[in-house]
Amino acid sequence: MKLSSISIIFFFATLQALSVLQVNSQSTDSCNSNLNLDLPFDTSLLNCLPVWSRHDFILRYVRNLSNVWNFVLSAPDTNSFVAMGFSTTGQMVGSSAVVGWVSADGSGTVKQYFLGGQRPNLVVADQGNLTIVENSTSITSRSSRVYLAFQLNTSQPLSRVLYSVGQIRVIPSAPGFALAEHRDKVSTLLNYRT
């Protein structure tokens, strides 16, 4: 009888320790966190939404007075690309996306892609219908998260927003920067007024 009581106590103590470890290992970003990033635009007034709970994607955005929209997408750093696309239909085909990744040497790359189809040769780097403000893109890894930042010049971004995450430890490379098939994707509807 004493042995089973000790086993039960040990089991619950181990369970408690594991739950503490899990909480401490989770990402450090939330909508309550301040962004301490070196970005070419002000981040103090950004709206914030958890947009894809399955992969812990958090989107911050705001429109400034000159029809320039500031975006910061954060996600766990899995050594893969993260992407945010804008679509008229909610589908990948025909949309344009901002895609970013951090290389093993710590350097970040952000590119616009036109998603012309589901075959790799139809997903074209440095093409698309987004008017990205020059020198506004960046991606950085901090505290096990990546932060993809960019500005769009538009009166109103498309409300059907796509998010995707690439295969773990697979990032695009020169010369063509072809994207491998994503590990997961989601199509959402974003109300920019909230």
How much is the pLDDT for 67?
92
How much is the pLDDT for 4?
55
> What's the whole-model pTM score?
0.84
> Could you give all domains of the chain from N- to C-terminal order, each with its CATH number?
47-189 (2.60.40.1210)
Spatial strand order in the sheet of 108-115? 123-125, 108-115, 95-102, 82-87, 160-165, 184-189
pLDDT tens for 13-42 read: 443 433 333 333 445 788 888 888 888 888
How much is the pLDDT for 9?
45
Is 111's pLDDT higher than 60?
A: yes
- DSSP states of 158-178 as a string? -SEEEEEE--TTB---TTT-P
Is 81's pLDDT higher than 80?
A: yes
What are the tokens at 3?
A: 């042995």
The DSSP element (H or E) to which 128 belongs, if any, is none
Helices (H), 66-169: none
3-state secondary structure of 74: strand
